Homo-oligomer: A and B are copies of this chain.
Amino acid sequence: MKTLASYLAGRWQTADRDFRILLDPSTEEPLARASSTGADFAAALDWARGTGGPALRALSFGARGEILKSLSKTLRERRAELLDLSRANNGATESDGAFDVDGAGGTLAFYGGLGLALGDRRWLVDGDGLQLARTEAFWTRHALVPKQGAALHVNAFNFPAWGFAEKFACAFLAGVPSIVKPATATALVAHRMVEIVLESGLLPAGALQLVVGATGDLVDRLGAQDVLAFTGSAATARELRGRANLLAASVRVNVEADSLNAAVLGPDAAPGSAPFDAFVRDVAREMTQKAGQKCTAVRRILVPRAHAGAATEALAARLAGVVTGNPADPEVGMGPLATAAQLTDALDGVAELLATADLVAGTGRRADGRGAPAGKGFFLAPTLLASPVPLELTPVHEREVFGPVATVLPYSGTAEEAAQLVAMAGGTLVTSAYSDDPDWLAGLVAGAGAWTGRLYVGSTGAEGFGSGAALPASSHGGPGRAGGGEELGGLRGLAPYLQRVALQGHRGVVDPLAGA
């Protein structure tokens, strides 16, 4: 069996024990094994801080952007190989794999473009200058300079390609070296991507390292100039964020946790209207794409009571057309969950939800998958529930089921009640709204805007990709339960890796200093 290697302190290195086996989640066949036991993380951090950081800071934004553009091209040339690995290790359909792999390439290219536009600068000017006293002899301007530590990127199992790319692109463009740690169970794609990136010879030494397996004492070694960016469960985020060394040194921790995102149908969006059709199409896709294993997936479906019957029927009909199985079979529209543990957790979650909700479509039980051996594979067919008590604080607002599962919540149709329901989940990454009524939409922003990191509007004539895509131009992250972090959003995404410095002095000194 293939043994995955970590790339640390300039060399590929494998462990000799404590291996975890990576499986094909459709067939449960072993694919590879991974372990980080014995890795010297102190040396890895030294290499990032001492070699990678200075090399990156010596490059201009333009030079860093050029490299990101080239990396995007290089990875796109290996697209077919990466999609194969994604199908094998993530159970991803062709379309799911493309969502991940093409999203990665697009994000690298986008940040490459931002770098090229910034040209020769090596740090960013932040805002205009301002006079502080009677003359320009006292003046202020802000600069954003690269932090001098390492960025540790702990990624989730569901987006091995995009998760790597979106964090790496921001850190790299900011001038900070990355240590990437993909989730072990689905590490094949990220591992291969890092191999391809390093083989390309495009990166300065120390700019990128890879950990396969556990992080050992790596988090405990982070200090004031380092950054921890984490995507995963709220529980793990809480544990990481509370580590004594991170608190003591004010280490920047950027968290993107999964959340109970809501899709909201507006009262004007009657059956037959364009927003109603977009709502049904989008919600069904957000539930089933990557088998619902997306932090941005729709978990709660808010429907005005007047349209609840029609909307539920239309959704159930659409979900019934989705074939669950091994993505190696061309008829399959939705693959398995990624691991046995994920399946168990999702089934437990459905059972919890069913204590206060009713089953509308699906069984809430493991199924055999088309094209997969009987009894094998981590399959769960699309599962739609409905809550008879949407305004009560039931598990529907608290228990995220990380699979193709969502619950219909009938509501009055007012923006205020929709906002109240959105807020009951304690903070979400994204909310989607389907309406042509600008006042209702403004009411939703006023009421629910503080509870969500993104609001996706499906109105007549809009041509969006749905609420599930975290696009590099828009901020990605959400308050409260969603982790309170922010990624992407153009140059905003560089913020965790930069230190803002307020420069003060004579304008003739400060302005050139800020723009260096």
Contacts and interface: CB of A to CB of B under 8 A. Distances in A.
Given A133-B465, A454-B502, 10 more contacts: A127-B490, A132-B465, A137-B464, A143-B445, A143-B449, A147-B479, A223-B480, A445-B516, A454-B504, A492-B500
Interface in A201-247: 223-225, 234, 238, 241-242, 244, 247
A455 B499 contact: no
Contacts of A504: 454-457, 464, 467, 471, 474
A446 interface: yes
Highest count of chain B CB atoms <10 Å: which of A137, A449, A454, A484: A449
A509 interface: yes
Nearest to A238: B247
A452 interface: yes
Given A456-B504, A502-B476, A505-B459, A471 B132 contact: yes
How many copies the complex holds: the figure is 2
Contact of A461 (B255, B485, B506): B506
Q: Secondary structure at chain A's binding surface: helix, strand, loop or mixed?
A: mixed
Contact of A462 (B122, B455, B506, B512): B506
A196 interface: no
A421 to B, nearest CB: 15
A244 B247 CA distance: 13
Interface string A438-451: 10011001100111
A505 B278 CA distance: 12
Contacts of A127: 490, 492
A459 B224 contact: no
Highest count of chain B CB atoms <10 Å: which of A146, A499, A510: A499
Give chain A's interface residue range (CB within 8 Å of chain B): 35 or more
A189 to B, nearest CB: 25
A235 to B, nearest CB: 9
A238 B500 CA distance: 22
A314 B476 CA distance: 54
Given A250-B479, A509-B459, A501 B426 contact: no
A325 interface: no
A241 B445 CA distance: 30
Contact of A513 (B57, B143, B441, B503): B441
Interface of A: 57, 122-123, 127, 130, 132-135, 137-138, 140, 142-143, 145-148, 223-225, 234, 238, 241-242, 244, 247-252, 255, 423, 426-427, 438, 441-442, 445-446, 449-459, 461-465, 467, 471, 473-476, 479-486, 489-490, 492, 499-506, 508-510, 512-513, 516
Given A449-B145, A465-B133, A426 B249 contact: yes
Nearest to A250: B484
A265 to B, nearest CB: 15
A145 B501 CA distance: 25
Contact of A140 (B426, B446, B474, B516): B474
Given A145-B446, A512-B438, A252 B137 contact: no
A513 B454 CA distance: 13
12 contacts: A123-B449, A132-B474, A134-B463, A148-B423, A225-B450, A225-B479, A242-B242, A250-B483, A441-B509, A445-B513, A467-B504, A489-B500
A515 to B, nearest CB: 10
A462 B139 CA distance: 9
Nearest to A454: B502
Given A147-B450, A455-B501, A501-B455, A241 B247 contact: yes
